[in-house]
Amino acid sequence: MKTILPRVKIAYLPTPIEPLPRLSAALGGPNLFIKRDDLTGLAFGGNKTRKLEFLLADAQSQGSHTLITAGAIQSNHCRQTAAAAARFGLGCILVLYGDPPAGPSGNLFLDQLLGAEIIWTTRPERDKVLKETFDATWAAGRRPYLIPYGGSNQLGAAAYAYAMQEMVAQFDASPGLSSPRWVVFPSSSGGTQAGMVLGAKIFGFPGKILGISVDEAQGVLQSRVANLANLTAEYLGETIHFSPEDIFVNANYLGDGYGVMGEPEREAIHLFATLEGMLLDPVYTGRAAAGLIDLIRSGYFTRQDSVLFWHTGGSPALFADRYVSLVEG
């Protein structure tokens, strides 16, 4: 990579890659592995911790005192941002959209435990309220630093270009372990996938990167990822270009909408838990795993394929009131 970016050490890296033999046998499909970014270590971990290493370094270089970002009530990104702010002695303001619950649970409980200030809004008003919050915080002399939704800008995406370098090195260091033909994971704001596809090009990963959309139409997400990957490549001094057609997205598993867990997500969560002792979340990894399972059953992958499921974290959402009964049910 031509440009070396400043970063602060937050995550426990490299995160391990583990086989999923019991799940592979139960599904009768490809050889499955999992990349454990749920173990990055910051307040229950997750993929946003990697992004925050670069975003926090940028915030520090600007002398910022307060982190501001936005997300849904059970946002994993907001929870990790609040934890990073606490760890580095910064203020944190979270603009959350949705109806305030009677009592905090899951990620929202952790946001408050970590000391974040919460501002409530609606999904249509999110960006407007986020800007108003930033402006008011700046006027108050708190030197805010704005982290985009999902941490998905060039810095956040660059984190996952480096993550691909890490993954390639792990397989190269294990002669008996063949590099996967497919990497499958949840995709939404696009930063993780943009970084992955760019990192695959830079560091010579020959496999395919498949994002399972949790909330967006295929074309929308393909365009978003390609655009961000191109911006990140330029930011890093790389002459690499992507078109939307270069981005693999499957948007067949949107169910009843973002954050609405149905039977496919419930089954996926139970299969990973009872067969491998691993916890998925209801919104992102549960939906992506449901898509992976259906693709295996429908013959999308061959039995000889090696597929890596990239676990982006999010297990605290399992303890949100709205999901507990569904999991138990």
Residues β-bridged to residue 200: none
Q: What three-state secondary structure class fits 92?
A: strand
Gap between the Cα atoms of 266 and 290, Å rounded = 8
Task: Concatenate the DSSP letters of all residues of 9-22 into one string.
Answer: --S-SSPPEEE-HH
Gap between the Cα atoms of 18 and 20, Å rounded = 7
- Long-range contact set of residues 206-209: C-beta below 8 Å, sequence gap at least 24: 206/179, 207/179, 207/180, 207/181, 207/182, 207/183, 208/181, 208/182, 208/183, 208/248, 209/183, 209/247, 209/248
Gap between the Cα atoms of 29 and 293, Å rounded = 9
CB burial string 147-184: b at 16+ within 10 A, e below: bbbbbbbbbbbbbbbbbbbbbbebbeeeeeeebbbbbb
CB 280 within 8 A of CB 268: yes
Q: From 252, 256, 274, 255, select the one nearest 327 (Cα to Cα).
A: 274
Active site residue 75: yes
Catalytic-role residue among 64, 75, 187, 189:
75
Strand ranges for 150-305 from DSSP E? 182-187, 208-213, 248-250
Tell me the CA distances in angstroms from 241 to 42, 198, 218, 228, 270, one per residue in order.
33, 9, 19, 10, 40
What are 232's two structure tokens?
């990140």
Active site residues: 75
